[in-house]
Amino acid sequence: MANTKWVYDFGGGASDGDASMKNLLGGKGANLAEMASLGLPVPPGFTITTALCTAYYDLGRKYPEELDAQLETSLKTLEAKAGKEFGSATNPLLVSVRSGARASMPGMMDTVLNLGLNDTTAEGLAQLSGDRRFAYDSYRRFIQMYSNVVLNITHDVFEDILEDFKDLQGYELDTDMQAEDWQEVIVKYKAAVVTHNNGKPFPEDPKDQLWGAIGAVFGSWMNDRAIFYRKHNDIPASWGTAVNVQSMVFGNMGDTSATGVAFTRDPGTGENLFYGEYLINAQGEDVVAGIRTPAPISKARAAEMGSDDAPLEVTMPDVYKQLTDVADKLEKHYRDMQDIEFTVEEGKLYMLQTRNGKRTAQAALAMAVEMCKEGLITENEAVLRLEPAQLDQLLHPMIDQDAKAAATAEGRVFVKGLPASPGAAIGKIVFDSDEAADAAAKGEDVILIRIETSPEDIHGMHASKAIVTARGGMTSHAAVVARGMGRPCVCGAGSLRINKELGEVSVAGETLKRGDIVTVDGATGEVFKGRVAMIEPDLSGDFAHIMEWADKARTLSVRTNAETPADVEVAKNFGAEGIGLCRTEHMFFDADRIPVVRAMILASSEKGRKEALEKLLPMQRSDFEAIFRIMGDKPCNIRLLDPPLHEFMPHSDEEMADVAKGSGVSIEVLTHRASELHESNPMLGHRGCRLGVTYPEIYEMQARAIFEAAVNVAKETGVAPVPEVMIPLVATKAEVALMKARIVKMAEAVLPKSDIKIDYLVGTMIELPRAALRAADIAQEAEFFSFGTNDLTQTTLGISRDDAARFLGDYEKQGIYEKDPFVTLDIEGVGELVQMGTERGRSVKPDLKIGICGEHGGDPASIAFCHKLGMSYVSCSPYRVPVARLAAAHAALKA
Ligand code: ADP
Ligand code: MG
Ligand code: MG
């Protein structure tokens, strides 16, 4: 460690780092260095690396020895660049201390501005700037921010003092405060610090302040909010955060100063329109905090929003022009939409941050396609710009325009705010994040309504279907976080009056209560009373382009798990290239079938079973016909009956009586039979091919139904279906051999000799560890494998999925399993079996068709693994099909 460079300088002519060093310098630090090197106006500073954060925790929250000297050197360099001195009474250097992880974590880590101020340097700043009010305004901001971030004293302590002071003076606004007023308030602030900080005074020494702030940034890496955000965004704790120390520029020096944020394109829709917000005479956090609602930057945007506030384009046209030039330069340089932060100090523009902007799925899609058409990026890059998980949002409903017009005519618009994050949702009103989380845990759809949100609300926002806030602009915390999460969001609905205690929210005398249903349209900013109908999304246009490019890039085929004609149809429209799993038992639950199924199960003789099966045969056949008709010449994998029979058992006396009546057997006999069938561990009991072993007639009936259906549809449509008959829960080659012989015999009996040729396969699920281990044997009989990773996970981990809820959460929390292994494949363990099964199977049959049909077939990380193994296909639920297509393309392009 002795030779490690922990501190990297940037700006003022020379930078040690660049944009490629995000892992070490964090996103913010790397991009500050890069912007400085591009010749953009960046206040100079230095970055303490993410490696130091890791070292700090490794050393038990202590810094490596060499840091001190390196920091001193960089501070000296910074003083020279800035032409100011840290702690000087006449020419003080002030800095901001900013966190910055590899991946941007908005609002997670806390920034301290104006650091270096104390009674002496504040007076120095006053003299130097010739603006006492500005100097003491900066000072009081610093005390509050530092106390909050570093000393954990809540903002309201300071806000209360300020409000009381203003009341006493008869002031309305903060801007009524004069320098002397601020000085008085500062004395009160400091007294409050002593009270709330165990009697310790506010640190006067700028060096102490600096170390305190640095420690707070590193400390915040492990706070609950950061941990929560990382968990939900798959960011490992080991990455660490960097700390940026940067000389201050001031947006609060009067009416020629300002601060703002901008996006080079619209992050909500993707439209190529410069877009942003700013506040005159303000400092950084003012914009994000949503306390004052900022004005739009451009005339076009102001007009679109119907805003009366003068845009930057009007108030500071030169700065605006410069800013748009910078935006163009940055976008061309990074070849992506940029999210930028800037400050104007007395007419001079400074860049404080740039990063690839977060965007809604809709915007990501529109931008990727447009940038590709502009020639800025290639088709493959466009494909990579859209996160598979994000795609989900585009596949979900939006508000139906006719229903909306009707609702509007009925006067059901409750409030209109800013369209902060598109998409629509219906749910019950809640006013509190904990309440939202609780309700969501019970399976309720809730809409979170807040005055504004803060990082403490992340879990509540996550739990809600949509978020509505009274305050804050398009770049407020709520807006940014909601877009990142893909939650519809309406911000700045200023006419909302929220009374959390009473559980009420009202607009112009109209009141809704906690639990009332509302519909939120994040695309327009409207909130409706009651439900408004939604429609399915549009899958043409940009969506079709990206999917076409993704299909070109991927090698994995994508199928679907579906059995009802409606689901099969949806999946086909979403691009499914076959059925990877048709669960025949799902077809048995229909009201008109279940009594027959029950009669079959409860029959105590083969004869009784056969009678029932005779009745089921035409039903199954017509099911398969419907599927074959939709799927045409695409392969259809049909799994023979799998679940424990008890799942079909009558539960109530009434149901029992029905079965008795239907099958002409007495209730007593039936009850006795039911108790015979009881199993203590049905998941490992009489199910899967074990049913086929003991009741051959069941599988024979199903095989017959499949082949007869194939022949019928081939005759009817002229297109021969491609059935794949799948045997579940196999452990041995002998099981496959036995089942297969019967299936083939049935095929030979049913399929015509000449005119129509049906190509069918008989294969097996691999869902028991033994099957994966003995895959080479099994492949001698099986014509395909499909990894049933739900059961394979259960049986490998020895965890029953139905009972896992009680403890799996704790396992995840304590990092025993990084993720829920039923959602993302446990690649180390279960994955090793999948790999082994694939390799061993193909060692016997090199072309063996291999797929996956567990939940994991729709999970992007698991899909990447399947791609790596060279599987033939993945199969997932219908709505996941596009996600899987895109994930398969990502896997191929990143390989
Ligand atoms: P976040 O990661 O939450 O966006 P930042 O570190 O970017 O936090 O800081 C928030 C805001 O503080 C910035 O957008 C900027 O307006 C202001 N800020 C940070 N550093 C400086 C600085 N050196 N001079 C002026 N303003 C600053
Ligand atoms: Mg912050
Ligand atoms: Mg920032």
To test ligand 1's pocket by mutation, which of 341, 344, 348 has the most ligand atoms within 8 angstroms of CB?
Answer: 341
Residue 389 inside a domain? The answer is no
What was the pLDDT predicted at 769? 98
What was the pLDDT predicted at 477? 80
Structure tokens at 505: 């929210």
111 CB near ligand 1 (under 6 Å): yes
Boundary-marking domain end, from 247, 271, 304: 247
Q: Which of 313-317, 623-627, 753-757 has the lowest mean pLDDT?
A: 753-757
Nearest-CA residue for ligand 1 atom 8 is: 111
pLDDT per residue as tens digits for the range 549-578: 999 999 999 999 998 898 899 899 999 999
Nearest-CA residue for ligand 1 atom 22 is: 248
- What is the torsion angle, in degrees rounded to the nearest 10, for the CA atoms of residue 200, residue 202, residue 205 and residue 207? 90
Q: How many CB atoms lie within 10 A of CB 261?
A: 25
| Residue 78 contacts residue 247 (beta carbons within 8 Å) | yes
Kind plus residue range of the DSSP H or E element containing 73: helix 67-82
259 CB near ligand 1 (under 6 Å): yes
Residue 597 inside a domain? The answer is no
- DSSP secondary structure, 23-69, as one string: HHHHHHHHHHHHHHHTT-----EEEE-HHHHHHHHHTTS---TTHHH
pLDDT over threshold 70, residue 317: yes
Same domain (yes/no): 429, 337: no
352 CB near ligand 1 (under 6 Å): yes
- Report the SS3 class of residue 447: strand
CA distance 512 to 503: 9
Residue 649 inside a domain? The answer is no
What was the pLDDT predicted at 484? 65
Q: Which ligand is nearest to the CA of 149?
A: 2
pLDDT over threshold 90, residue 683: no
Catalytic residue among 459, 462, 477, 890: 477
353 CB near ligand 1 (under 6 Å): yes
Q: What DSSP designation does 292 have?
A: S
How many domains does the chain fold into? 4
Q: What percent of the chain has pLDDT over 90?
A: 72
CA distance 416 to 494: 9
- Mean pLDDT, the chain, rounded, equals 92
857 CB near ligand 1 (under 6 Å): no
Residue 308 inside a domain? The answer is yes
Instruction: Name the residue type at position 685.
Output: G
Locus of tokens 């020419």: 91
pLDDT over threshold 90, residue 53: yes
pLDDT over threshold 70, residue 288: no
Nearest-CA residue for ligand 1 atom 12 is: 284
Same domain (yes/no): 15, 112: yes
pLDDT over threshold 60, residue 664: yes
Residue 181 inside a domain? The answer is yes
Residue 611 inside a domain? The answer is no
98 CB near ligand 1 (under 6 Å): yes
CA dihedral sign, ordered 525, 529, 535, 536: positive
pLDDT over threshold 90, residue 136: yes
Q: Which of 128-132, 357-361, 661-665, 781-785 has the lowest mean pLDDT?
A: 661-665
Distance 260 CA to ligand 2 centre (A): 14
Same domain (yes/no): 64, 132: yes
Instruction: List the one residue out of 140, 65, 49 whose CA is nearest residue 101.
Output: 49
Locus of tokens 């009374």: 499
What was the pLDDT predicted at 639? 97
Boundary-marking domain end, from 247, 274, 308: 247
- Count H helices and E strands in the chain, helices first: 36, 33
Residue 426 belongs to domain with CATH number: 3.50.30.10
Counting every residue, how long is the chain?
895
- The mean per-residue pLDDT over the stretch 877-891 comes to 93
- Nearest-atom number in ligand 1 for the CA of 105 is 2
To test ligand 1's pocket by mutation, which of 32, 96, 458 has the most ligand atoms within 8 angstroms of CB?
Answer: 96
Same domain (yes/no): 125, 149: yes
Q: Which of 1-10, 201-210, 285-294, 758-767 has the lowest mean pLDDT?
A: 285-294
Q: Which ligand is nearest to the CA of 101?
A: 1
Distance 188 CA to ligand 2 centre (A): 26
The runs of H, that is alpha helices, within 197-263 are: 206-220, 224-232
- The mean per-residue pLDDT over the stretch 7-19 comes to 94
Boundary-marking domain end, from 472, 506, 535: 535
Same domain (yes/no): 477, 570: no
Residue 350 belongs to domain with CATH number: 3.30.470.20
Instruction: List the one residue out of 725, 718, 832 whose CA is nearest residue 775.
Output: 832
pLDDT over threshold 90, residue 322: yes
- Nearest-atom number in ligand 1 for the CA of 108 is 3
343 CB near ligand 1 (under 6 Å): yes
Nearest-5° angle of CA 871, CA 876, CA 880?
A: 120
Structure tokens at 451: 């005055």
Residue 718 inside a domain? The answer is yes
Structure tokens at 733: 């080659």
CA distance 424 to 429: 15
- The mean per-residue pLDDT over the stretch 169-189 comes to 94
Owning domain of residue 318: 258-359
Nearest-CA residue for ligand 1 atom 3 is: 107
Residue 62 belongs to domain with CATH number: 3.30.1490.20
* b/e code 68-86 from CB counts within 10 Å (16+ = b): eebbeebbebbbebbebbb
Locus of tokens 């239907």: 662
CA distance 44 to 11: 4
Same domain (yes/no): 485, 576: no
- Nearest-atom number in ligand 1 for the CA of 341 is 14
Distance 285 CA to ligand 3 centre (A): 9
Locus of tokens 């954990």: 152
pLDDT over threshold 60, residue 645: yes
Same domain (yes/no): 332, 229: no
Instruction: List the one residue out of 844, 846, 889, 849 whose CA is nearest residue 867.
Output: 889
Q: Which ligand is nearest to the CA of 245?
A: 1
To test ligand 1's pocket by mutation, which of 25, 111, 117, 142 has the most ligand atoms within 8 angstroms of CB?
Answer: 111
| Residue 786 contacts residue 637 (beta carbons within 8 Å) | yes
Distance 814 CA to ligand 2 centre (A): 27
Same domain (yes/no): 428, 516: yes
125 CB near ligand 1 (under 6 Å): no
To test ligand 1's pocket by mutation, which of 28, 112, 343 has the most ligand atoms within 8 angstroms of CB?
Answer: 343
246 CB near ligand 1 (under 6 Å): yes
Q: What percent of the chain has pLDDT over 70?
A: 98
pLDDT per residue as tens digits for the range 236-250: 888 999 999 999 999
Distance 214 CA to ligand 2 centre (A): 14
Nearest-CA residue for ligand 1 atom 15 is: 284
Residue 830 belongs to domain with CATH number: 3.20.20.60
Nearest-CA residue for ligand 1 atom 27 is: 284
Residue 672 inside a domain? The answer is no
- The mean per-residue pLDDT over the stretch 791-814 comes to 86
> What angle separates helix 594-602 from helix 667-677, to the nearest 10 degrees?
80
477 is catalytic: yes
Strand partners, 849: 784
pLDDT per residue as tens digits for the range 86-132: 999 999 999 999 999 988 775 556 789 999 999 999 999 999 999 99
Give the pLDDT band (50/70/90) at residue 650: confident
Distance 543 CA to ligand 1 centre (A): 36
Nearest-CA residue for ligand 1 atom 26 is: 284
Nearest-CA residue for ligand 1 atom 17 is: 284
The runs of H, that is alpha helices, within 688-804 are: 689-694, 696-717, 733-750, 769-773, 775-781, 789-797
341 CB near ligand 1 (under 6 Å): yes
What was the pLDDT predicted at 765? 98
Same domain (yes/no): 852, 715: yes
Q: Which has more pLDDT, 169 or 291? A: 169
- Nearest-atom number in ligand 1 for the CA of 250 is 25
pLDDT over threshold 80, residue 870: yes
702 CB near ligand 1 (under 6 Å): no
Give the pLDDT band (50/70/90) at residue 1: low
| Residue 235 contacts residue 229 (beta carbons within 8 Å) | yes
CA distance 696 to 310: 80
| Residue 305 contacts residue 420 (beta carbons within 8 Å) | no
Same domain (yes/no): 421, 560: no
What was the pLDDT predicted at 831? 97
Same domain (yes/no): 581, 511: no
What was the pLDDT predicted at 228? 82
Catalytic residue among 853, 866, 867, 890: 853
What was the pLDDT predicted at 422? 79
Same domain (yes/no): 306, 440: no
344 CB near ligand 1 (under 6 Å): no
